[in-house]
Amino acid sequence: MSAATHDGLHELSGLYALGALTGEERADFESHLRSCDQCQADVRSFAPVVDALARAVPEREPSTALRGRVLDAVAGDRPARVDRARAIDTTGRRRWLSDAGWLAAAACFAGMLVVGYTARDRQHRVIALESRLREVTLRANAADRQIADVRRTASEAQASLAVLMAPDVARVDLEGQPVAPSATGRAYWSRSRGLVFTASNLPPLPAGRVYQLWVVTARAPVSAGLLTPDAAGRVTATIDTPRDLPTPVAMAVTLEPEGGVAAPTGEKYLVGTPGAGL
Amino acid sequence: MWLWAVADRFNSSSGPRGGREDQHGDQQAIGRVAAGDRDALADLYDRHSRAVFSLALRIVQDWSEAEDVVQEVFSQAWSQAARHDPARGAVAAWLLTIARSRAIDRVRHRRARPDSAGEQAVAAWPDPAPLQDLALLADEQIARVRAAVTRLPFLQRIALELAYFEGLTQSEIAERLEQPLGTVKTRIRQALIKLRESLGGAEA
């Protein structure tokens, strides 16, 4: 094993544990892994993280009929023979919380779910009234109950993924204006799935003020919502937009009175225009 | 804007949550499955089908497809039980990594179809990494990681989730976010490191 190989491949250990490497890259890493203790330790150290990601999804029970189907499906097959004797390994030392402790932790999570917002955030107004995002990420389902169920679990994070995965997504880069030269913003917009907006280095809000996001169309700027950055000046929002929204010619963030305004009045902090393809 | 409340974790957890006895039970069950014991497979199903289904559903976003994935996972467990090495990880984690691979297979296949003129072969997603953690996660640790995900910088989080839940390759993520490939890889690694830190010090 050459040092050069290790240095180049070591950085991939997390991706490998995540199951995100494919093809030649994966093969190269795997073959390096066989002879590298450090990388093996690294991969192992990420394994609990990946396991936690897998378990942190919304919990759902499959239909009761599935059990029978699964067992019937293997009825005819014989599994591969055991080809070596195995000792039963019983090293499991982690202690488990009672259910009560777990529910309390879940309660904390529900309050922290929304990216970039604190519990004290104000109401945010948006232009769209009806959520379309979750519908477009679902395929037709048999039972209405199941559709409603999955919809309820579609979180904001999934909604932002849906926007990014849209075939018609376009990116808008926003630049800090003279009043906030180090601020940056980025928006991903899909006519079918809505808008994701993220910004950083926004100056702290003065008292009684709020940032407001505008989608500037040929006709008039349309408010996309109010933004309150965190202590680090970052904010992210996932926003429904109506399908009949005129194509944006620009996006902007202005500083407005608390509660927002119907049309922009305040100073511009971020401005950007879409790239090609919008 | 709408705040999507995800209160589903308040659902009663009717399935047994694992502990030392359960992991022992899993090891015994997988051994019996390898010997052709269908009751042992049923055992594993009863313990793990909810976690497997939940992950599959999150990825494929379709109830009946998710159930199909569950079936595939336990069929694969049935035929590959002899290959599972307990020294390399918990049965539960093994099942979940298979679940992700099979779910991603479907999502990628579905994505490929609109573009393909004829039958476009979509390579099966590579099977799970063989190095796993031995111990099982406590609920509190899972909650911690979930919370840590919400605190990740947006672009780190999105890159991580596009990789894990959407099954995009690194190149595909780079293309979609319009970022350099190296940046995407670094962001995901940074996200994983932060999440790993959130798990630290969780020993019983």
- DSSP for A210-250, please give it: EEEEEEE-SS-EEEEEEE---TTS-EEEEE---TTPPPPSE
pLDDT, average across residues A189-218: 93
Q: How confident is the model at residue A69 (pLDDT cuts 50, 70, 90)?
A: very high
Do you know the residue count of chain A? Answer: 278
User: Which residues are CB-contacts of A130 (< 8 A; sequence separation ≥ 6)?
Assistant: A240
Residue segments in chain B with a per-residue pLDDT below the cut of 70: 1-21, 113-135, 201-204
Position A121 pLDDT exceeds 80: no
Q: Which of residues 77-136 of A touch B (CB under 8 A)?
A: 77-83, 86-97, 99, 101-103, 105-110, 112-117, 124-126, 131
Cβ contact, residue pair A154, B4, below 8 Å: yes
Looking at residue B84, its pLDDT comes to: 86
Contact with chain B for residue A231, Cβ under 8 A: no
Query: β-pairing, A268-274 with A235-239?
Result: unpaired
Q: Pick from B6, B66, B62, B64: which is nearest to A152 by CA?
A: B6
pLDDT (0 to 100) of residue A145? 40
| Sheet strand arrangement including A221-227 | A221-227, A209-216, A250-257, A268-274, A170-176, A184-190, A194-200, A235-239
For residue A12, the model assigns a pLDDT of 95
Mean pLDDT computed over A183-192: 92
- Identify the CA nearest to A160 among candidates B8, B4, B119, B115: B4
* A142 vs B: CB within 8 A: yes
- Tens digits of residue pLDDT in A92-101: 222 232 333 3
pLDDT in tens, A49-59: 999 999 999 99
Confidence of residue A136 (pLDDT cuts 50, 70, 90): very low
Average model confidence (pLDDT) across chain A: 75
Q: What is the pLDDT of residue B110?
A: 86
Proportion of chain A above pLDDT 90, given as a percent: 51
Chain A residues closer than 8 Å to B109 by CB:
none
Quote the ipTM score: 0.85
Determine the Cα–Cα distance for residues A154 and A58; give it in Å rounded to an integer. 9
Q: Which residue has the higher pLDDT, A142 or A19?
A: A19
Per the model's pLDDT, the better-predicted residue between B196 and A2 turns out to be: B196
- Residues A109-117 have a mean pLDDT of 37
Task: Kindly state the DSSP code that residue B83 receives in the 8-state scheme.
Answer: G
Which of A16, A86, A117 shows the shortest C-beta gap to B31?
Answer: A86
What pLDDT is attached to residue B134?
57
Give CA torsion, residues A180, A186, A190, A196, to 10 deg: -90
User: Cβ contacts of residue A254 below 8 Å, gap of 6+?
Assistant: A211, A212, A214, A264, A265, A266, A267, A268, A269
pLDDT interval class at A274 (50, 70, 90)? confident
pLDDT bin (cut points 50, 70, 90) of residue A246 is confident
Q: Which residues of B touch A11 (CB under 8 A)?
A: 185-186, 189
What is the per-residue pLDDT for A207?
Answer: 95
B6, A153: Cβ pair inside 8 Å?
Answer: yes
How far is the alpha carbon of B116 from chain A, nearest alpha carbon, in Å?
15
Instruction: State the pLDDT confidence band at A247, using cuts at 50, 70 and 90.
Output: confident
Report the pLDDT value the prediction gives residue A248, as an integer from 0 to 100.
Answer: 87
Task: Give the SS3 label for residue B171.
Answer: helix
CA–CA min distance B176, chain A (Å): 7
pLDDT, residue A158, reads 78
**Which chain A positions have a beta carbon within 8 Å of B144's beta carbon?**
52, 105
pLDDT at A218: 86
Q: What is the pLDDT of residue B149?
A: 93
Give me the pLDDT at residue B124, please.
64
- Report the C-alpha gap between B88 and B76 in whole angstroms: 18
pLDDT of residue B20: 62
Chain B residues with beta carbon closer than 8 angstroms to that of A77 = 75, 78-79
